[in-house]
Amino acid sequence: MRVYTKTGDKGQTGLYDGKRVSKGSVRVEAYGAIDELISYLGLTKCYLEDEEDVEFLSSIQRRLFDVGADLATSNGAKLKDRVNEDDITELEKAIDKYLEDVPNTNTFILPGDNVKSAQLHVARTIARQAERRIINLAELVDYENNEDETSINMFVIKYVNRLSDLLYAMSRYVEINYTEVKFNK
């Protein structure tokens, strides 16, 4: 299999549904941010020791592929598997689990207590960036009211928002429970 197709040499790429768009489009920025998040979660897993946490992040990565596909098509009706309310509920349950024994705080958290926690905080900021890109796309699609494009699946926005909350919760949990590997301060 060849990696290069040469079809993007003039600055365009193909969407999931075959439509061609600029590689600099808001849509490509949105699913590109999700791709970045998927990759960074892969790196983050390398620092975690708890197999359950690693598998949970793997399941999130797989679900983010569905989010990316949703963003990479101008017609969501063509997709088989889309993020839905059940996915958001699953994240909320996980957030509650991770924060169960973490002390409440009314201050900002300075990331970097340990490498594991810092990785999760970086993943959280990438998720927030992806959320901003998705909202930009949703506003653009709604503003243009383009008949060729459907509105953005609102569950995608909720999912990525909740995912950043989850990554915050996991980072706090890891800060409290895994402090043995600290950065030199």
Per-residue confidence band for 12, with pLDDT thresholds at 50, 70 and 90: confident
Question: How many domains does the chain divide into?
Answer: 1
**Whole-number Å distance between alpha carbons of 125 and 119:** 10
State pLDDT tens for residues 26-48.
Answer: 999 999 999 999 999 999 999 99
State pLDDT tens for residues 115-151.
Answer: 999 999 999 999 999 999 999 999 888 655 555 556 7
Residue 83 within a domain: yes
> What is the dihedral angle through the alpha carbons of 66, 70, 71, 74, rounded to the nearest 10 degrees?
160
* pLDDT for position 36: 98
Residue 72 within a domain: yes
Measured from the Cβ of residue 15, the count of other Cβ atoms closer than 10 Å reads: 18
**Whole-number Å distance between alpha carbons of 105 and 103:** 6
Per-residue confidence band for 185, with pLDDT thresholds at 50, 70 and 90: very low
Per-residue confidence band for 183, with pLDDT thresholds at 50, 70 and 90: very low
Residue 9 within a domain: no
**Tokens standing for 140?**
């653009």
* CB distance 158 to 171 below 8 Å: no
pTM reported for the whole predicted model: 0.87
Greater pLDDT, 56 or 101: 56
Mean pLDDT of the chain: 87
Residue 15 within a domain: no
* pLDDT for position 159: 98
* pLDDT for position 181: 46
State pLDDT tens for residues 124-133.
Answer: 999 999 999 9
* CB distance 41 to 57 below 8 Å: yes
Residue 96 within a domain: yes
Residue 18 carries which DSSP code?
S
Residue 57 within a domain: yes
The terminus-to-terminus CA distance of the chain in angstroms comes to 47
**DSSP string covering 69-94, please?**
HHHT-S-GGG-S----HHHHHHHHHH
Share of the chain above pLDDT 90, in %: 59
CATH number of the domain bearing residue 152:
1.20.1200.10
Phi and psi torsions of 12, nearest 5°: -120, 160
Residue 135 within a domain: yes
Residues β-bridged to residue 14? 20
Domain around 150: 24-177
